[in-house]
Amino acid sequence: MKNLLPLTLAALLLGGCTSAAQHAQDVGIDNGEQLTVGTVQKEIKIGMSGAQVAEVLGSPNIVSTDEQRREVWVYDKVATDTVTSSSNSWVFLVLAGGNTSAKARSTTQRTLTIIIKFDENNLVRDFAYHSSKF
């Protein structure tokens, strides 16, 4: 009977462990690299230079020109968030033990498209964005 006590304690301690990355994902910790509508609304202003925009938003996915040969930058981001939750319960008998588990998984996809239009002097003349979540 004395030999079962350390085994029981170890199983109880290890049964609920998760990795730090999984815990961060479960509680929704942001790694600081996420591009959001709030960032665009707060930071992007008419008259900014391309360097200032790049400093705030990073490099665009697409750079093109309009019919008057003015630059247009497009940021197109897609993120998939997957949350997995599991529950373990341990049942210990005098001679044998058993483990039952249940898992739930939820997947959400987010998109964000940002269009930055520059004028002839390469300053922001207009910008627009669209966000969706499904």
pLDDT tens by residue, 74-120: 999 999 989 888 776 665 555 555 566 678 889 999 999 999 999 99
What pLDDT score does 45 carry?
97
What pLDDT score does 92 carry?
57
Q: Is the pTM of this model over 0.75?
A: no
Q: Which domain holds residue 56?
A: 4-133
What pLDDT score does 84 carry?
87
Residue with the bigger pLDDT between 134 and 102: it is: 134
What mean pLDDT value characterizes the chain? 78
Place of tokens 């030999």: 3
CA separation (Å) from 71 to 37, 50, 96, 110, 113?
A: 22, 10, 70, 27, 17
Torsions phi, psi of 54, nearest 5?
-60, -35
Cβ atoms within 10 A of the Cβ of 129, count?
Answer: 17
User: In total, how many domains does the chain have?
Assistant: 1
